[in-house]
Amino acid sequence: MSIFEEPIYSAFEYLNSLLNLEKKRLFESINLIASENLPSKAVLEAVGSVFSVKYAEGYPGNRYYGGCEFVDRVETQAIELAKKLFDMEFANVQPHSGAQANQAVFESILKDGDKILSLSLDHGGHLTHGHKVNFSGKRYNVVFYPLDPKTYLIDLNLVEEIAKKEKPRLIIAGASAYSREIDFDAFRDIADSVGAYLLADVAHYAGLIVAGIYPSPKRAHFVTSTTHKTLRGPRGGIILSQSSFANSINRAVFPFLQGGPHMNSILAKAVCFEICQTTEFKQYAEKVVLNAEELARHLILNDLNVITGGTSSHMFLVDVVSIGLTGIEAQSLLEEAGIYVNKNTIPYDKNPPAVCSGIRIGTPMITSLGLEVSHMAQVAEFIVKVLKERQAPDNLREEVRQFCIQNFKKIF
């Protein structure tokens, strides 16, 4: 057999062993990283398909290469499904990531130096919403709205006040570490009152939105998302908008920011969007939120400080300084026990971003692996044993492993 045809395990044994180690890591540990998820087999099959061969710069019906008959049909289908799912007039399914989706929206309506109003990263926003180390903070003039210092919730009156004073050209509603509902309609009203555009970055909430259990962003001028978080699709991004922005968005994605679209990912996005329309997906999304609520409830019962006292989504933040730890310490103690979270700033954090005072906990992945509300007390107990009771995490590792082996659905 030629080296081109051999399976990875016989051609490159050392690479295959890394693949197996990663599978073991994923399926023998409790992954609570809020932005990660396990895609369905159909999505993974699409990502690994022969659609990865094809160059298709351009858009359906208007490509720079021959042989685009089937990729055109795939991309058209992905676009139609995305529009239907989010109930919006236009979709571009080519962005390689959420960051590039945001960049394309900025490019389509902003000039260098234009003003953006957004939630800062340390209050739960996102790097691309104007952080000073990111292109968004370097190219645009960014003003942030803070969370309410007592409730840690978005204060819409304050957002409106700042918007009226600052007159931004773009307001961003969306977050990577905000566990409560975002009222996108109210943001649109504020944007209208100051003549600003509204971008809803729903990367974290998209799966809950299409399942109808999180506020709809459809009144926003632009909606961006990743496809791999709560949507359970492939790594990638999408942009939705009103049809009047179609040309400027398309030009911003290609040829301005990107070259050839990844047609294998676009096939996988179409597969993901098909799955998202099913009752099974809606039930999955509901379970993600129920699991997050239940996990937060058990941590609170054990006197851990869950920011905002719970969650209305797939994730929540835990303040670990109140139990004598930093975020980075909590993350690494849990990792030793086989539980993955990420250190995260909490609102008004006094620690630097590399240290953080909190951890972010999410349930999309464990729900994909079949954990139910009834398992959450046990997951909380593991966390409490490590963080609060300070039991040696390596002693718990085997218990966590056995829990995973016994309770995770066999996916592969």
H-state helical runs in 218-359: 246-251, 263-276, 279-301, 327-336
The first and second tokens of residue 305, run together, are 């400080």
118 or 176: whose CB is closer to ligand DSN? 176
Smallest gap, in angstroms, from Cβ of residue 126 to ligand DSN? 6
Phi, psi of 197 (to 5 degrees): -85, 155
Contact set for ligand DSN, span 88-107 (CB under 6 A): 98
Looking at beta carbons only, is 205 or 403 nearer to ligand DSN? 205
Non-local CB neighbours of 28 within 8 Å, separated by 6+ positions:
338, 401, 404, 405
Determine which one of 139, 188, 229, 385 is catalytic. Answer: 229
- ∠ CA 110-112-115, nearest 5°, is 65
Angle (CA) 180 307 390, round 5°: 140
> Residue of minimal CB distance from ligand DSN?
35
Termini Cα distance of the chain: 26
CB of 229 to ligand DSN, least distance (A): 7
Active site residue 348: no
Cα three-residue angle 30-179-249, rounded to 5 degrees:
100
Smallest separation, CB 377 to ligand DSN (Å): 26
CB of 345 to ligand DSN, least distance (A): 12
- Decide whether 11 or 257 has the Cβ nearer to ligand DSN: 257
> Residue 75 catalytic?
no
Among residues 98 and 261, whose Cβ is nearest to ligand DSN?
98
**The one catalytic residue among 224, 226, 227, 326:** 226
Catalytic (active site) residue 180 = no
Q: Is 363 in the site for ligand DSN (CB under 6 A)?
A: no
Whether 226 is catalytic is: yes
Q: Which residues contact 134 (CB under 8 A, 6 or more apart)?
A: 127, 128
**Residue of 273, 304, 319, 332 lying closest to 389 (CA atoms):** 304
Given the complex with ligand DSN, which of 77 and 176 has the nearer CB atom? Answer: 176
Contacting residues for 325 by C-beta, under 8 A, at least 6 apart: 333, 387
CA distances from residue 211 to 75, 95, 166, 299, 356 in whole angstroms, order as listed: 23, 23, 35, 27, 32
Strands 58-59 and 90-92: unpaired
Per-residue contact string for residues 113-152; x = within reach of ligand DSN by CB under 6 A: -------------x--------------------------
The one-letter amino acid at 298: H
**Residue tagged active-site, from 28, 36, 45, 57:** 57
Q: How far apart are CA 205 and CA 225, in angstroms?
A: 9
**Taking the complex as a whole, how short is the minimal distance between the CB of residue 224 and ligand DSN, in angstroms?**
11
The count of residues interacting with ligand DSN (CB under 6 A) is: 4
Catalytic, 57? Answer yes
CB of 161 to ligand DSN, least distance (A): 28
* CB 98 to ligand DSN: min, Å: 6
Among 29, 176, 357, 368, binds ligand DSN (CB under 6 A): 176
Contact 408, 370 (CB under 8 A): yes
Is 372 annotated in the active site? no
**What is the contact mask toward ligand DSN in residues 18 to 47, using x (rule: CB under 6 A)?**
-----------------x------------
- Residues annotated catalytic, as ranges: 55, 57, 201, 226, 229, 235
Query: Contact residues for ligand DSN (CB under 6 A)?
Result: 35, 98, 126, 176
